[in-house]
Chains A and B, each alone.
Chain A
Amino acid sequence: MSKIIPVNRFEIYYNNLIKKSDFINSAFIDSNIVISAYDEDHSFNPSTMVLLDLLTDKDFNLYTSVIVRSEVLNYFRKQYISKIILEHDILNKVRPVLKDKIENYMKQHDILSEKLIKDLMSDFKIKYTVWKELCKSCINDPINKIYDLLISNKDFTYKSPQDDPDLFTVERIPWDGAKDIIATTGIGSADAMIINIFNYSKSPFIVTNDLDIAYAILCAHKINKDVLTSEDQYKKLKKYGFPDYYFF
């Protein structure tokens, strides 16, 4: 049975963990942890740093999937597009109904949704060459630089069973596992793929601040691995109505 571990109880959990014969000093990292670690302005940045400091102090090898790397790039892409939209008076060139939608959305969010970005791109009043120029000037260079950073630095390693068989229980990830997770928990495909890879990893726990991931792991009965999260997210999860035995 999976358990949710709050960061302040990790020491006790860890002391139990190292007594196990199959213990490996590797932690599987979810995309929101990489994103909030790398975005200094992210609301989860302080709690993520607490989690990562704790794990690095104990010499954990922090690894994740290449899917996470693409999610990190996608996050910064959306962040830059959102910034462009606000910095370039683009909103004055789109249909008033779309302008209202975006302005209302940005009152509560820092980053545009994928749907609104698509609406913007297809808005007939923005010439495609304007969009291309925006991408060339404000997205192309930073995305390439971030990609190079993700490839070259050693903060997290992006692994598959082919890269490092010792970190996984199978030689190839069976992708129908992701389908089963979608079917049993209703979670989106990107999250389901990450949970599926985690499920076939040897790491006993995933580090995440994403409630959807934690929720799905508790709901997916075939998963018998734990979730390490911040104290705040732990408290929120407790309100979801899961029985107490799920909480470490």
Chain B
Amino acid sequence: MSALLEVRNLETFYGPIMAIRGVSLEVNKGEVVTVLGANGAGKTTLLKTISGIMDPEKGQVLFEGEEIQGREPHQIVKRGIVQVPEGREVFPLLTVEENLALGAYTRSDKAEIARDRDLVFSYFPILAERRRQEAGTLSGGQQQMLAIGRGLMLRPKIMLLDEPSLGLSPLLTQEIFTILRRLNADEGVTMMVVEQNAAVALDLADRGYVMELGRIVMSDSAERLAASEDIQSFYLGHANEGARGERRWKKRKTWR
């Protein structure tokens, strides 16, 4: 089976700094794949390279079997890859409806667009209530919903979500991830979710990769990742209290 999205030996630089040092991964149709990693691991750079905002130095990005690395972002969007950027980045002075309309910018079938908008509203009822409100006046959680909704308006083949939980309360995070799960289950939306919040991400995802310093150090099914000792102590915060009951140090990571 060939994957929907396949990344091979990707290397991306910021000037002289190598942010991605050879990453290979794949996402199959209908799957939710999560990429975990701390600050500076290269997760966002990875998404940006896939969506064409950054160009890789080496390596390939294959989408439906075709190489798309180095293409312009708008061409990549047209193929059905949508990135929901980190920190929402909705258009603050446009209304909710206008933001959603922009999401469907590349499409022209009005009736279908209207149907998709209603679909978005059915998943995010709060957006329907506030459809005429300026996006900048929405709460953080609502803006995140809007950003996801805007992404859905393209009917993407794959959604790249960059830290959807960033800056949200645990309750809101739960809510958004519940909706993401439904979107995946009911609408079959394929997703690649980059997250620092490993608990919710592993709960949602089928498979996961762990990135560190621009490399993948671990890859496995979400359940097995969640059960791994390193993930538990470094990402899920399960501390082994040690002999004194107040251990501060962490054992070295082995990623196995």
Chain A partners chain B: no
